[in-house]
Amino acid sequence: MGSRERYSRILSLVFSAAVIRCVEASSASKPGFNLTTETGFFIDSTLHNGSFEDCDINTTFIASSRASGNITFNVLKCWENDPISTSFYGPVMYAPVYASLCLGLWSVVANSLPLAAIMKHEHLHTPAYILMANLAASDVLTGIDFIFTGSSVLYNVNTETCPSDAMLRLRFTLVLLCGLSSAYSLLALTAERYWFIVHGMTYVNNVTNDKCKVVVLIVWLWSVLLAMLPNFGWHCASRTEEGCLRFGGGLPLSYVVLILAFVFIPMAAIVFFNLSVFWCLWKHVSAIAAQEAAVGAPPSVSRKSAVTVVIITVVFLVGWLPFSIKMAMFTQDKVSIANMFVFIILNSAINPVIYGFRLQEVRRGVARLFRNNHAGNVELDA
List, for residues 96-117, the tens digit of each pLDDT value.
788 888 999 999 999 999 999 9
* Segment (H or E) for 45: strand 45-46
- Is 149 within 8 Å of 174 (Cβ atoms)? yes
What are the structural domains, with CATH classification, of the chain?
3-50+89-364 (1.20.1070.10)
pTM (2 d.p.): 0.74
CA 51 from chain center: how many Å?
31
- Is 35 within 8 Å of 29 (Cβ atoms)? yes
- Give the amino acid at 157: V
* Segment (H or E) for 52: strand 52-53
Radius of gyration (C-alpha) of the chain in whole angstroms:
23
Q: What angle do CA 175, 267, 332 make, to 5 degrees?
A: 45
How far apart CA 62 and CA 162 sit, in angstroms, is 7
> Nearest 10 degrees: CA dihedral of 330, 187, 339, 111?
-150
- Is 343 within 8 Å of 349 (Cβ atoms)? no
Tabulate helix, strand, coil % of the chain (nearest 5): 70, 5, 25
Per-residue pLDDT of the chain (382 residues; tens, 9 = 90+): 565 565 556 555 555 555 555 545 445 444 444 433 333 333 333 333 333 344 444 433 333 333 333 444 444 444 333 322 222 223 445 677 888 889 999 999 999 999 999 999 988 899 999 999 999 999 999 999 999 988 888 888 888 788 888 888 888 899 999 999 999 999 999 999 999 888 878 888 899 999 999 999 999 999 999 999 988 888 887 777 777 877 777 888 889 899 999 999 999 999 999 998 888 877 766 665 666 566 655 555 566 777 888 899 999 999 999 988 988 888 777 777 878 888 898 999 999 888 877 788 888 888 888 876 544 443 433 3
